[in-house]
A = this chain, B = another copy of it.
Amino acid sequence: MGIISHRYASRLLVRSLIVNALKRSASTTAFHSTVPIDPIPSANGSQSLAAHYFPTEPDIPRLLTSFPGPRSVEKLKSLDKVYDTKAAYMLCDYQNSVGNYICDADQNLYLDVYAQIASIALGYNNPVLIAAAQSPEMIDALVNRPALGNFPSTLWEPILRDGILSAAPKGLDKVWTSMSGSDANECAYKAAFMYHRSKQRGNVSDFSYLERQTAMENKSPGSPDLAILSFEKAFHGRLFGSLSTTRSSPIHKIDIPAFNWPKAPFPALKYPLDQYETENRAEEDKCLTALETILQEWKSRISAVVVEPIQAEGGDNHATPYFFQQLRKLTKQHSVLLIVDEVQTGVAATGTFWAHEQWNLDAPPDMVTFSKKFQAAGYFYGNDELRPSLPFRQFNTWCGDPSKAIIAREIVKEVRAHNLVARTSQVGKYLYEQLEQLQRTFPHLMQNLRGKDRGTFIAWDATDLQTRNKILKDMKGAGVNIGGCGAYSVRLRPGMTFLLLIW
Contacts and interface: CB of A to CB of B under 8 A. Distances in A.
Interface of A: 75-76, 78-79, 81-95, 97, 102, 105, 116-117, 119-120, 124-126, 129-130, 132-134, 136, 138-140, 142-147, 149-157, 160-161, 165, 173-177, 179-183, 186, 189-190, 193-194, 196-198, 207, 211-213, 215-219, 222-227, 237-242, 244, 247, 250-261, 263, 371-372, 375, 387-388, 390-398, 403, 407
A88 B183 contact: no
Nearest to A71: B154
Given A157-B83, A218-B260, A244-B240, A179 B179 contact: yes
Integer count of this chain's copies in the complex: 2
A126 B390 CA distance: 35
Contacts of A240: 186, 189, 239-242, 244, 259
A332 B173 CA distance: 52
Contact of A222 (B120, B222, B253, B395): B253
Contact of A218 (B149, B155, B259): B259
From A130, A174, A215, name the one whose CB has the most chain B CB atoms within 10 angstroms: A215
10 contacts: A78-B157, A83-B175, A117-B147, A125-B140, A180-B183, A183-B239, A193-B255, A219-B258, A223-B256, A240-B242
A153 B223 contact: no
B150 A88 contact: yes
Contacts of A256: 190, 193-194, 223
A155 B75 CA distance: 11
B119 A147 contact: yes
Contacts of A219: 258, 260
Contacts of A227: 257
B154 A105 contact: yes
Given A94-B146, A179-B180, A239-B183, A157 B82 contact: yes
Contact of A146 (B116, B179, B216): B116
Nearest to A483: B150
B130 A238 contact: no
